[in-house]
Amino acid sequence: MKKLALSLALMLLLSLCPAVAEGVNPYMETTVDSAALETLVYTNVDFGAGASLLRVKGATDGELKIRVYLDSMEGKPFATATFISATKENRLNISLEGVHDLYFTFEGEGAFISWQAFTSQADINAAIRAERGVQYEDLVPAAYTKQARQRGTIEKFVYEAHDWMGNNALYEKNAFVYLPYGYDAAQTYDLLILCHGIGGSEYEWGMINEDSKVKRIMDNMIENGEIRPFIVVTPNGRAGKAQDQTSFYRFDQELRNDLLPALAAKYAVDIADRNRCAMAGLSMGGMQTVNLGIGKCLDLFSAFGAFSACPTTNPASITAATLNAHPDLPVRVFYSICGTGDTIAYASATAAVDTLEPMTAQLNEKNFIRQYVSGGHDFGVWYLGFYNFARLIGGK
């Protein structure tokens, strides 16, 4: 790892100049070799009416611990950031207001890149968007939950599927299909398979009539020219008549052998072109997107959206191994979102993505997006996830 020592003059400048801790102002963007200094001091840092999050960026080939002391070096550290080889940043909960001095100390070897204070998670998301030049939002526009002037249609789609949990006999299943305004069977459209959670069915996303938020979001984005028109399908993600929890883990067989061929037979989609096919889902559907979409159907899809991916979702190491084994199947988009107050999925969702990017050359700052927002395991997060993912895969 290349390490750059901070010059004495720059250290003095940083320690003497006051900083204003508002919004997303960075305090330091110079790479520092932690072995070259013992302490960095920032004096007269103005946190104004208050900051609630500290973002510390670093890098190491081994282990690096950065401790932050408030106003003096006495007592316990105010915050501690720990880095291992796969860690790029720490987000630490704090509660500070007014003017303070900060002391940074270092244990281990590595690079201290920057620190920033924020008033909210939304500010961090805005900073990352600015850094990466990737467009996603923290809220679905209120106008997009209202009916558009140019409205697409929703159809109930009945198809034959094999009973993958039984004797493979054929039986009828239902899904709902969103067709964009002006749908023309002579054209070819991109396709999104949008999956539900453990207690849901093809009805859970509510994509059944004009009141559907998915439909309204799609209609408005298409009418405003923000995305290319594409088709959205909400299936039942249980692959068998038994409809039990185990059947979620066999849904890749239905996708490959039943659902996608049936959709191609009726609608203007090209399932042979993986770059025109995407998969996403909430909770258990997020697990299916990671474990099955990436894990078993990388030849069918190139874009993936995991919204609050539930327990049993593959950790980063397994996903990275799959991606590394298939360099000929590049990922177009991998987007993950989770609420910071999600007591069901936060641990599994973060384990699936937080250390993933350094493990594979398939992912980078342009095609891999992690978003954390205030919220729990609910549709406030999931509709935002759908909105952002639709913009990412349908952007012009």
pLDDT at 109: 85
pLDDT at 22: 39
pLDDT at 24: 35
Residues of the chain with pLDDT under 50: 1-26, 29
pLDDT at 244: 84
pLDDT at 116: 86
pTM: 0.76
Common-topology check for domains 8-119 and 142-394: no
pLDDT at 8: 32
The tens digit of pLDDT for each residue in 245-269 reads 899 999 999 999 999 999 999 999 9
Query: 10 Å Cβ neighbour count for 390?
Result: 24
Instruction: Provide the residue ranges of all domains of the chain, joining segments of one domain with +.
Output: 8-119, 142-394
pLDDT at 15: 36
Q: May I ask the CATH class of domain 8-119? A: mainly beta
Q: May I ask the CATH class of domain 142-394? A: alpha beta
pLDDT at 30: 52
